Copies of this chain bind each other. A is one copy, B any other.
Amino acid sequence: MREPDSITLDDVVAARKRIEGAVPRSPLIRMEGAGASDLYLKLENLQPIRSFKLRGADSAMALLSPGELAAGVYTASAGNMAQGLAWAARRRGTRCTVVVPDNAPQTKLDGIRRLGADTIALPYDEWWNILATHRYPPLEPARFVHPVSDLAVMAGNGTIGLEILEDLPDVDSVLVPFGGGGLSCGIAAAIRGLKPEVKVYGCEVETAAPLAAAIAAGRVVECTRTPTFVDGIGARTMLVEMWPPARRLLAGSLVVSLEEVVAAIRMLVERAAVVGEGAAGAAVAAGLKGSGDVGRVVCVVSGGNIEPAVLSSILAGGVP
């Protein structure tokens, strides 16, 4: 198993060949009315499962042998990677099981089941333990696909970076929601390999900002974590194996408030007619604030899976 920090541009290019024809290219649109900023949105929420996760899942599954595929796959996920792996498994006729934290939102559970995967619910700490240890023995010999630090998953995510550079060659910075770092580091591996002057930032919400905490401490530390509707990012701590690539590849962490995430989600509806989930809102909020650098900024709208009741409340002017 290669370490996440060994990821290179070549890995991303190879992943692109593996997923080509299966995973759609997502559109990049300019966000109107964003004030002085020249903001672009990379719309991964328009993917078949409404998030970028099918890129990494398909990239990883494409490396499995027929025997491994026959034994099935599993992952641990709050929802989007679950749908990503279920989607990639369904198209290969492979059995897929997903371990979910017992507070996973209904929208995401429904999506997993519609894609034909089984689910097992565990308390949050036990669920997190799977991410830390990379296994859940009761499901073996099915193959575990780590949602964040599997190198093939990161490389699949990184194909977003290749598309951004093709569609907007003079981009100055790319703002990416930072959950575990698999998305931001994958994208950064591609972009830094091709255009090292382009900065890639991780974006976090202040209710839980483990990357910012690690950068401040110079090592992985626990941070305070207040649960909110933003469920795709914001763990209590970083996975230790993700700190080396995050430190090497990312320009920093941009931290926004929950209110700014809410305003960004509302702005996505009103100005771009798209639905972004909390994690996506963090990247857009950072872009709207003019965090990071001036110039041409791409915000990665990582997903659009948000509870209808939460979005309803945001559109009514509230902070859920």
A binding-site residues for B, Cβ under 8 Å: 24, 27, 29-30, 32-33, 43, 45-46, 48-50, 107, 114, 266, 269-276, 303-305, 308-309, 311-316
Contacts and interface: CB of A to CB of B under 8 A. Distances in A.
A308 B275 contact: no
Nearest to A304: B273
A273 B24 CA distance: 15
15 contacts: A24-B29, A29-B46, A50-B272, A107-B270, A266-B308, A269-B308, A273-B275, A273-B276, A274-B274, A274-B304, A275-B275, A312-B314, A312-B315, A312-B316, A316-B316
A268 to B, nearest CB: 9
Number of copies: 2
A30 B48 contact: yes
A22 to B, nearest CB: 13
Contacts of A30: 48
Given A33-B114, A274-B274, A274-B275, A311 B269 contact: yes
Nearest to A50: B273
Given A32-B48, A32-B49, A114-B33, A311 B304 contact: no
